[in-house]
Amino acid sequence: MNKRVLISGASRGLGLCFAKKYLEDGCMVFAGARNEGAAGLKELKEKYGNLLVPLQLDVADTKSVESAAEAASAYTAHLDVIINNAGIHSETSFLELEDADLDDCLPVYDVNAVGPIRVVKAFLPLLKKGESGLVVNISSESGSIGTAERIKEFDYCMSKAALNMGTKLLHNYLKDMNINVIAVHPGWMRTDMGGQNATQDPFETAGRLTELFEEVREGGNKAVFMDNTGEEYPW
């Protein structure tokens, strides 16, 4: 494979699994995280050495994102794939409307919806220098307006719906630069966010998705919002 991949939110969960999978495949991974010294990344660094470049990256902080892009450019002249995986819930997300603190929504929107756009903006010069680029925004079925049946999680659901719109705007803007942009619903996984009752193993999901991403990069799938099998998902 030998691709150069940037992953945000790479210190745990699906992001860490993406990092591990790409490293196993011989790719160079730029692992962005608020805590780039997290235990999982340290373990991967010890095993894979220079193939892994941890980056201090807070997607809600423009200066942090710009500094991470500058740091990455010291190691590579281009990127092939950007995976915007960083995401959060608010503490009151699962409370019903009467008890939810709607002021908690704003930081979630900042991370989940605006953060990926910040990352693409800062790293676009590196992405443009690759032969064929791919931006993956990790979205969710909770961002689908067409299938929505929930009665709460205003912060998370609305942020993912906004991310989907951001994906479409980026897709429209970058398609003539040989850069594809997609949003993916990865499924319900056993992570800190998904909980231990979830149905999917995150590393198995990461493996399945990396294969899907290659299919998209090679032009074999034209969907913009899709599930983890590559099927188009309702907006």
Instruction: Enumerate residues 6+ apart whose C-beta is below 8 A from 64.
Output: 56, 57, 58
* Domain that residue 165 falls in: 4-227
Average pLDDT across the chain, whole number:
94
pLDDT digits (tens, 9 = 90+) for 22-32: 999 999 999 99
Q: Give the pLDDT band (50/70/90) at residue 2.
A: confident
Mean pLDDT of 172-187: 95
Query: How many domains does the chain fold into?
Result: 1
Q: Give the pLDDT band (50/70/90) at residue 196.
A: confident
Residue 233 forms part of a structural domain: no
Strand partners, 29: 5, 52
Q: What is the pLDDT of residue 220?
A: 82
Q: Return the active site residues.
A: 156, 160
The burial of 183, by beta-carbon neighbours within 10 Å (0-12 exposed, 13-18 middle, 19 or more buried), is given as: buried
Residue 121 forms part of a structural domain: yes
Residue 232 forms part of a structural domain: no
Tell me which DSSP letter residue 5 carries. Answer: E
Residue 12 forms part of a structural domain: yes
- Provide Rg for the chain, Cα atoms: 17
Helix (H) or strand (E) holding 133: strand 133-138
Residue 172 forms part of a structural domain: yes
CATH code for the domain of 130: 3.40.50.720
CA distances from 8 to 30, 76, 114, 146 (A): 9, 17, 13, 28
Residue 234 forms part of a structural domain: no
pLDDT digits (tens, 9 = 90+) for 141-158: 999 999 999 999 999 999
